[in-house]
Chains A and B, each alone.
Chain A
Amino acid sequence: MSFDLAVVVAALPAILAGLQVTLGIWLAALALGIGLGFAVAALRHFGPGPLGLALRLAVEVLRGTPFLIQIFLLYFGGPFVGIRLDPVPAGLLGLSVYAAAYFSEIFRAGFVAVPRGHVEAAQCVGLSRAQIVRRILVPEMTMLVLPQCVNMAVILVKETAILSIIAVPEATAVISALGSQQYAFVESLFLLALIYWLLVEACGWAGRALERRLSKFRFA
């Protein structure tokens, strides 16, 4: 068996379509995960005790079980409790919730890491609680948690591959199907590895560029 790139070139339109799904689900899950994760962290930090405890339990379960099993449970177990979703929405929901659990922990640590004195200074000049969150806590926290967020984004792009098992037509599903049909397993796997690695590199590069831009806001 020889390494045949022609197979890849011939199937380029299908591959690009798969790649589009991967990118779309990744970016959407990233946005939803950050939004939901922030809400969970804020509720745990500022909300009432029992709610915080319930959220903490949910986060622990989501972080303590493999994503593969979570997505299986959602897709195949969901119908038993009335959650009937197509592969793409199921994949997006599962990945977003999984990401939110990790992001909430990152943000929670971020809230705690903002020096108390910065909040006190804001109280002293009369900012309200909501203004302190919006003007002081969130911007300062963003600088602190940026490296971990980039790291999480990188993990997330690779987790999208798992969605192939519930038949989400993303890059891994499309390309490995192609490999089976054409008996080009090595080519397809190599191509997949290359695609994910390039995405991860691009993400890391974007993260570093952002960190450089924010570097002058660093803590004095």
Chain B
Amino acid sequence: MTLPAPAIAIRRLCKSYGQTEVLHGIDLEIARGATTCLIGPSGSGKSTLLRCIAFLEEATSGTILVNGQPLGFEEQADGRRRRLPQARIREVRSGIGMVFQQFNLWPHMTALGNVTEALVTVQGLSRREAGERGMAQLRRVGLEARARHYPSELSGGQQQRVAIARALALEPKILLFDEPTASLDPELTGEVLNVMRDLGDEGMTMVVVTHEIGFAATVGQRIVFLDHGRVLLNGPPAELFAPPRHPRLTQFLETYLDRGAAMLLKPA
């Protein structure tokens, strides 16, 4: 039996900032069509790992394969890394969409403008064609009626849904989320998590750095628990969260009782 190739394969990935190493040789495979949640205490390296996958940070050593293609660097026969040409980097990157904690919508463009920008500027579509595709993505996140609004006229939850539509417009194979609900009021997190849940149901490959333990436990098919720059635990939530639990994970969950961890810790 051959297993399907992983969407992302990470080998011995290290990342240092100056003298400080934040990722100590991460080995991780992200399954295609599944939602993988990266959890862990602050400073555990989960956001850095995600940013390396998005190629917003360049890993110090190690390799990342995205859909089988090397991202950014290629390992040569002698084991040294070679930086790939910019065109190849962009090609591999175009299969990945990214959603940020701070939304990062461009304030001088409407919701539709944000979604269609890359379609027009990068892919060279006509305004009309881009507009139609952009509207389809806004419909997908339930914001068709807000297409002409500027980011400053939208709520945080709406802005994040526009940001998701912007990432979806390029039809990526993989979506990365960096704490997508961390800057939202609690009553607005639901609308964003629902959109993400729908995407997961549609079979999108998603990697989600999150503090929403409840979301991770119910939507995530795979939980990766990072601690001090290493993958400490990696498995389906039912397995990981069920007792007997790793003591480090229990300790972590106890600090997240208000984010849905309480139900996991409750005695049966």
Closest to B123 in A: A126
A125 and B56 contact, CB distance less than 8 A:
no
A136 within 8 Å of B (CB atoms): yes
A123 within 8 Å of B (CB atoms): yes
Interface string of B105-123 (1 = CB under 8 A from A): 1111000000001100110
Tell me the count of chain B residues lying within 8 A, CB to CB, of chain A. 31
B94 and A220 contact, CB distance less than 8 A:
no
Closest to B90 in A: A126
Q: Are A219 and B167 CB-contacts (below 8 A) given A125-B118, A131-B122?
A: no
Kindly list chain A residues whose C-beta atoms are within 8 Å of the C-beta of B94: 126
Interface residues of A in 86-128 (CB under 8 A from B): 115, 117-118, 120-127
* SS class, residues of chain A in contact with chain B: helix
B220 within 8 Å of A (CB atoms): no
Tell me the count of chain A residues lying within 8 A, CB to CB, of chain B. 22
Expressed in whole angstroms, the Cα–Cα distance for A125 and B113 within the complex equals: 13
Q: List 17 other contacts, CB 8 Å, given A117-B100, A121-B105, A216-B152.
A: A115-B102, A115-B104, A117-B102, A120-B56, A120-B104, A121-B106, A122-B106, A125-B97, A125-B117, A126-B90, A127-B122, A136-B106, A139-B106, A143-B107, A216-B150, A217-B107, A220-B107
A140 and B167 contact, CB distance less than 8 A:
no
A140 and B106 contact, CB distance less than 8 A:
yes
B137 within 8 Å of A (CB atoms): no
Q: Can you offer 15 A-B residue contacts whose CB atoms are under 8 A?
A: A115-B102, A115-B104, A121-B98, A121-B105, A122-B106, A124-B56, A124-B93, A125-B166, A126-B90, A136-B106, A140-B106, A140-B107, A140-B108, A143-B107, A219-B152
Kindly list chain B residues whose C-beta atoms are within 8 Å of the C-beta of A136: 106
Interface string of B157-180 (1 = CB under 8 A from A): 001000100110110000000000
A218 within 8 Å of B (CB atoms): yes
B121 and A219 contact, CB distance less than 8 A:
no
Kindly list chain A residues whose C-beta atoms are within 8 Å of the C-beta of B107: 140, 143, 217-220
Chain B min CB distance to A209 (Å)? 18
Kindly list chain B residues whose C-beta atoms are within 8 Å of the C-beta of A219: 107, 152
Interface residues of A in 112-167 (CB under 8 A from B): 115, 117-118, 120-127, 131, 135-136, 139-140, 143
Kindly list chain A residues whose C-beta atoms are within 8 Å of the C-beta of B151: 220
B153 within 8 Å of A (CB atoms): yes
A220 and B104 contact, CB distance less than 8 A:
no
Kindly list chain A residues whose C-beta atoms are within 8 Å of the C-beta of B84: none
